[in-house]
Structures are given as C-alpha cells and as structure tokens.
C-alpha cells in the first residue's frame, strides 16, 4: 500500500511477517526509497524520527498491534562507561581500526558467514550469498563507511601488510548529528572479547572526536534478549511517542498496547517532517 505527501517521497507498508524479536507477534514496516541528490538530507531527517537505513531504503516499524521497537541512540557528551565496559575497552586496546569506503571484500564475507552461522543461523540473513552481501555493503546513496577492526599477529610493530587478522566489521552511516551503526558482525570465536560492545564504545569515541552528538544503535526492544545489551549503555535515549527521551528504567517500557490506540498509517505519514527543499 502506498502513502505520500505533496511533493514528498512516497511511503509504502510491507505485509505483516513474523516478528524476529518477540515470539508470536507480527511485524510491519513503513518505508520509502532513498535516492537522488537529496538522499543525505532525507537520511538525516528520517533518522531523527526513528527510521533506519537498509541499502537504498529507509524504514521504521509500523506494526498493527505493537510499538515495542524503539530507535535508540547514545548522547555522546553524557556517556560514561561502566566498569565492565572499561574492561572491554582495555581488553581490545590492541585492535587496529581501519575506516574504508563502502566496498565489500571476500575477507569481510568470510567473517560475516562465520558470524551468521554461529549466532544467527535461523535468521532472515542466513542464506545471504556474497553478491547479496556486497549489495548490503555497497548499495548506499549516502555517506557510508566500513569500519574494520584488526588484530595484529606476529609481534612486528608497526604491522606489515597482511599480518593482521580481521575480527570485526561495522557498516556505518555518517549523519549530520551522529554515527549510525547500520550493521555489525565479528568473529564468534572471540566471544570473551565482547567485540560487539567494543564496536559501540569505539564509535562513541569516533563521534566525540568528530564533534557529533549521537551514536545511533538501531532498535531496542523491551522483552527481547537480543536487544538487552543496548540498555546497558549510559546516556541512552529512545524514540517513543514521536520524541526522543531518556530510557530511564528499561523495565518500565511495556511492549503491550491496544490495537485501537495505534494511529492509522496515513496519520503516521502526515506527521513525518521532511527536509526543506529549495524552491
């Protein structure tokens, strides 16, 4: 089904599908295409309203009977690492960060496959081949970087080319107000290093050094064990009820809601604020 505003992008709604986060529920997404000269401006504007990017599409959940999925971001200036997070940072201090253009490699794909096979073998991306992986990385009309994390092997400093091993990757959009973690994956054999947490901590430092106020983490879902880790970061905000607000006590955010209290799609689209275009 299509919905649109005058002189604005067209919005569509997906058919309901099984929810990947909460058992027994169905998910539905509101989405629009991301292309053209105004792609960066649209990505910036809609990211501030709870949307996420996947290749050349911007989407956010618009389920018929649930509002559990809430966009989450960290306020960089107020973030204070916990004792556990400081240990994670020290444990991974030897890793070398390498920021590259949005270009897929076979080495990245091998790590991606190992991650999926170990962590998400029954997920929606489990059958993704190398061509689909390349599309996920490379099909972006906005400012996107691939952030690689490499472990030096062999003792030589500085490391010789090819002497360090790829252990984690994050596909990252550069917004005008922050860094958005589109997708990340890491070596599942290094679970004790908490590489997922390290990626977020490092992005907080990257944003701080660039003067960007936020790190966008994607969706947080109360009641989903897959998403519990996001609530462990201080200075976390969630997009709820059309505004960004401190998460407070995560236990207070119920995922239950009566279907009649959810606004129709047309009303949801009408409230979306779009970037100004020149006249």
DSSP state at residue 15:
P
Q: Show the tokens assigned to 222.
A: 């109360």
Please report the pLDDT score of residue 67 as a whole number.
Answer: 83
Please report the pLDDT score of residue 5 as a whole number.
Answer: 45
Please report the pLDDT score of residue 185 as a whole number.
Answer: 96
DSSP strand pairing (214-220 vs 178-186): parallel
Please report the pLDDT score of residue 253 as a whole number.
Answer: 84
Secondary structure of residue 199 in the 3-state scheme: helix
- The residues with which 244 forms a beta bridge, in sequence order, are 239
The residue ranges of the chain whose pLDDT is under 70 are 1-7, 120-124, 153-163, 255-261, 277-279
Full-model pTM: 0.90
Domains in the chain, CATH or no CATH each: 2-70+251-270 (no CATH), 74-236 (3.40.630.30)
- CA-CA-CA-CA dihedral for 118, 124, 128, 133, to nearest 10: -100
Q: Which residues contact 183 (CB under 8 A, 6 or more apart)?
A: 136, 170, 171
Q: Are 198 and 90 in contact (CB under 8 A)?
A: no
- For the chain, first and last CA: distance in Å? 30
Please report the pLDDT score of residue 22 as a whole number.
Answer: 83
Q: Are 58 and 31 in contact (CB under 8 A)?
A: yes
């Amino acid at each position: 089904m299509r919905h649109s505003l005058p002189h604005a992008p067209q919005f569509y709604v997906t058919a309901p599908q099984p929810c990947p986060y909460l058992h027994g529920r169905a998910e539905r997404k509101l989405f629009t295409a991301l292309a053209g000269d105004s792609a960066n401006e649209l990505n910036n504007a809609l990211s501030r309203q709870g949307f996420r990017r996947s290749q050349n599409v911007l989407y956010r959940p618009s389920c018929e009977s649930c509002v559990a999925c809430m966009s989450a971001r960290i306020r960089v200036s107020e973030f204070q690492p916990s004792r556990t997070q400081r240990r994670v940072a020290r444990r991974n201090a030897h890793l070398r960060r390498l920021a590259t253009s949005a270009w897929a490699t076979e080495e990245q794909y091998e790590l991606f496959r190992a991650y999926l096979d170990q962590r998400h073998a029954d997920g929606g991306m489990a059958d993704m081949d190398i061509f689909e992986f390349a599309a996920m990385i490379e099909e972006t009309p906005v400012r996107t970087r691939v952030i690689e994390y490499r472990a030096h092997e062999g003792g030589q400093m500085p490391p010789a080319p090819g002497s360090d091993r790829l252990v984690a990757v994050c596909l990252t959009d550069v917004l005008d107000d922050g860094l958005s973690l589109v997708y990340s994956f890491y070596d599942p054999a290094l679970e004790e290093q908490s590489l997922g947490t390290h990626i977020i901590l490092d992005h907080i430092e990257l944003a701080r050094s660039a003067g960007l106020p936020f790190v966008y983490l994607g969706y947080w879902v109360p009641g989903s064990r897959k998403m519990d880790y996001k609530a462990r970061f201080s200075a976390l905000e969630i997009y709820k009820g059309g505004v960004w607000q401190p998460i407070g006590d995560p236990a207070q955010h119920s995922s239950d809601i009566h279907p009649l209290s959810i606004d129709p799609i047309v009303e949801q689209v009408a409230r979306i604020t779009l970037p100004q275009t020149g006249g």
